[in-house]
Structure 1
Amino acid sequence: MNDPHTHAIRPHTGRQSWLAPALVGAAAALGASALYAVAKTREAERRNPPIGRFMTVNGVRLHCFEQGQGEPLVLIHGNGTMIQDFLVSGIVDELAKHHRVIIIDRPGYGYSERPRALWTPRAHASLYQAALERLGVSQAVVLGHSWGSLVAVALALQAPQLVRSLVLASGYYYPTVRADVFLFSPPAIPVIGDVMRYTVSPVIGRLILPGLIKAMFAPADVPERFDRLMPKELMLRPSQLRAAAEDAALMTPVTVELQQHYRELTLPVVIIVGADDQIADVGRQSERLHHELQGSEFIAIPGQGHMIHHLAPDEVIEAIERAFNRAPANPA
Structure 2
Amino acid sequence: MSNSKIKGWQAGALAAGLGLAASFLYVRAKTKEAEADNPPPGRFVTVDGVRLHYVERGQGPVLVLIHGNGVYGSDFEASGLLERAAEHYRVIVFDRPGFGYSERPRARLWTPQAQARLLHHALQQIGVDSAIVLGHSIGTLVALSMALDVPGFVRGLVLLSGYYYPSLRPDVPLFALPALPLIGDLMRYTVSPISARMLWRPLTKAMFAPLPVPERFRELPVWMMLRPKQVRAASADNTLMIPAALALSKRYGELKVPVVIVSGTQDRVVDPGHNSERLNERLQNGASGSELRLQPGVGHMTHYAHPEQVLEAIEDIAGRAGAPVSLRDPQAEARARASESGT
Superposition TM-score tier, normalisation by shorter sequence: over 0.9
- Identify which range, 123-132 or 26-35, moves more after superposition: 26-35
Structure 1 residue 24, shift from structure 2 partner: 2.6
Is residue 318 from structure 1 mapped to residue 308 from structure 2 by the alignment?
Answer: no
- Identify which range, 303-312 or 46-55, moves more after superposition: 46-55
Question: What residue is the counterpart of 1:4 in the other structure?
Answer: none
How many residue pairs match? The answer is 321
Structure 1 counterpart of 2:318, one-letter code: F
Q: Distance in 1 between matches of 2:216 and 2:4?
A: 58
Structure 1 residue 30, shift from structure 2 partner: 1.0
Give the secondary structure class of the aligned counterpart of 2:40: coil
Question: What residue is the counterpart of 2:331 in the other structure?
Answer: none
RMSD of equivalent CA atoms? 1.2
Question: What residue is the counterpart of 1:168 in the other structure?
Answer: 159
Match of 2:215 among 212, 215, 224: 224
Matches within 5 A, 1:223-262: 223-227=214-218, 229-262=219-252
Question: What residue is the counterpart of 2:332 in the other structure?
Answer: none
Question: What residue is the counterpart of 2:337 in the other structure?
Answer: none
Matches within 5 A, 1:75-224: 75-116=65-106, 117-224=108-215
Q: Distance in 2 between matches of 1:34 and 1:12?
A: 33
Is residue 72 from structure 1 mapped to residue 62 from structure 2 by the alignment?
Answer: yes
Q: Distance in 1 between matches of 2:21 and 2:245?
A: 39
Residues 264-291 of structure 1: per-residue CA shift (max 9 Å, x gap)? 0011001011121111101100110000
Structure 1 counterpart of 2:71, one-letter code: T
Structure 1 counterpart of 2:63, one-letter code: L
Is residue 296 from structure 1 mapped to residue 287 from structure 2 by the alignment?
Answer: no
Matches within 5 A, 1:6-85: 12-85=2-75
Q: Distance in 1 between matches of 2:269 and 2:131?
A: 28
Gaps of 5+ in 2: 327-343
Q: Distance in 2 between matches of 1:266 and 1:306?
A: 27
Q: Distance in 2 between matches of 1:164 and 1:212?
A: 34
Residues 13-35 of structure 1: per-residue CA shift (max 9 Å, x gap)? 33333333332332222111111
Q: Distance in 1 between matches of 2:9 and 2:299?
A: 50
Question: What residue is the counterpart of 1:309 in the other structure?
Answer: 303
Give the secondary structure class of the aligned counterpart of 2:292: strand
Q: Distance in 1 between matches of 2:241 and 2:308?
A: 29
Q: Percent identity?
A: 54
Structure 1 counterpart of 2:307, one-letter code: P
Alignment check: 8 A CA contact 2:160 2:262 kept: yes
Gaps of 5+ in 1: 1-10
Q: Distance in 2 between matches of 1:155 and 1:264?
A: 12
Structure 1 residue 12, shift from structure 2 partner: 4.8
TM-score after normalising by structure 1: 0.94
Residues 156-214 of structure 1: per-residue CA shift (max 9 Å, x gap)? 01111110000000000000001111221111111111000011111111111111100
Give the secondary structure class of the aligned counterpart of 1:118: coil
Structure 1 residue 328, shift from structure 2 partner: 4.2
Q: Distance in 2 between matches of 1:296 and 1:120?
A: 25
Q: Distance in 2 between matches of 1:91 and 1:320?
A: 11
Structure 1 residue 261, shift from structure 2 partner: 0.3
Q: Distance in 2 between matches of 1:91 and 1:254?
A: 27
Give the secondary structure class of the aligned counterpart of 2:63: strand
Give the secondary structure class of the aligned counterpart of 1:69: coil
Q: Distance in 2 between matches of 1:16 and 1:223?
A: 52
- Identify which range, 93-102 or 145-154, moves more after superposition: 93-102
Match of 1:274 among 264, 269, 273: 264
Residues 62-103 of structure 1: per-residue CA shift (max 9 Å, x gap)? 111000011100000000111110001111111111110000
Residues 221-275 of structure 1: per-residue CA shift (max 9 Å, x gap)? 1112222x21222111111110111111111111111111000001100101112
